[in-house]
Amino acid sequence: MTLTTEASSAAPSERSGLVEISGVHKSYGANEVLHDISLRVEPGQVVSLLGPSGSGKSTLLRAINHLETIDGGAITIDGEYIGYERRGGKLHELHEKYVLERRTRVGMVFQNFNLFPHLTALENIIEAPIGLKRAGRREAIAQAEVLLQRVGLADRADHYPRQLSGGQQQRVAIARALALEPDVLLFDEPTSALDPELVAEVLRVIRDLAHSGTTLIIVTHEIGFAAEVSDHVVFLDAGRVIEAGTPQQVLRAPEQARTQEFLDWVI
């Protein structure tokens, strides 16, 4: 793969949320963390990535919106690369400006919230739409109020992150990710930093999103939740896809012994 810095000349594709991952490799030195990963996530589909720590789940998720570069293969959303363009049969890395423009198509919810501590819940949500000139301040505030209502925090608009519980902060983070109306929404273990009693409120919001038509890709250890909301479940281990299929297939009748071993350990 050739990586150079060039401006993009590709025309925007019609948006739907189709994610195609083809033969992706990623290494840190001699440690290959993703090995020949190929997946297809249909528009509006909910896909859960499962696997033990170090299996490559979060690395793959971050590669989808180019928070991680890849060493081989390709990842596209509706046929468009996020961090690269193809010229002469090779991928060339885009200038950061163009990466940021394309990345707005992909919302990301991190396990540690990543809210700006000096901004209120509402200010966290409106910052990106205003900064990217997607909306004026009045329009952005109106949208943020709708999103706060959607995640059950209409009465917390003026609260700072330190005044919110972990579950409330994560719901603000979800609202912030939705503010740019992404085609694909990524969740990186969204409940792992929460106390057990706060997990349910975040899962309830994600459950609602699963019925909204937005493509969701979720890294999670919540097996029961994955079984409930997912159209497709992918089990990874040591950077490889071991098994993939419907929740019924993978979680209740796995074909691979390694999948069953993992399920016996976590359930």
In sequence order, the β-bridge partners of residue 229 are none
Q: Write the DSSP string, 179-234.
A: TT--SEEEEESTTTTS-HHHHHHHHHHHHHHTTTT-EEEEE-S-HHHHHHH-SEEE
* Average pLDDT of the residues in 192-205: 92
Nearest CA to 13 among 90, 68, 85? Answer: 85
- State the Cα–Cα distance between residues 217 and 230, nearest whole angstrom: 9
Q: What b-and-e string marks burial along 170-206, b requiring 16 or more CB atoms within 10 Å of the CB?
A: bbbbbbbbbbbebbbbbbbbbbeebeeebbebbbebb
What's the gap between Cα 187 and its chain centre? 4
Residue ranges of the alpha helices (H) in 21-83?
A: 57-64
**Does the pLDDT of residue 7 top 70, yes or no?**
no
Calpha distance 261→90 (Å, rounded): 40
pTM for the structure as a whole: 0.91
> pLDDT class for 53, splitting at 50, 70, 90?
very high
H or E stretch including 173? helix 166-178
**Per-residue pLDDT at 100 exceeds 90:** no
Q: Please give the average per-residue pLDDT across 97-126, as a whole number.
A: 93
Give the separation between CA 32 and CA 236, rounded to whole angstroms: 14
Mean pLDDT value across the chain: 92
108 SS3 class: strand
Place of tokens 């840190």: 28
Domain boundary assignment for the chain: 116-181
Residue 2 pLDDT exceeds 80: no
In this predicted structure, the answer to whether residue 252 has a pLDDT above a threshold of 60 is yes
* Cα 162 to Cα 109, 117, 166, 192, 260, distances in angstroms: 18, 7, 9, 19, 41
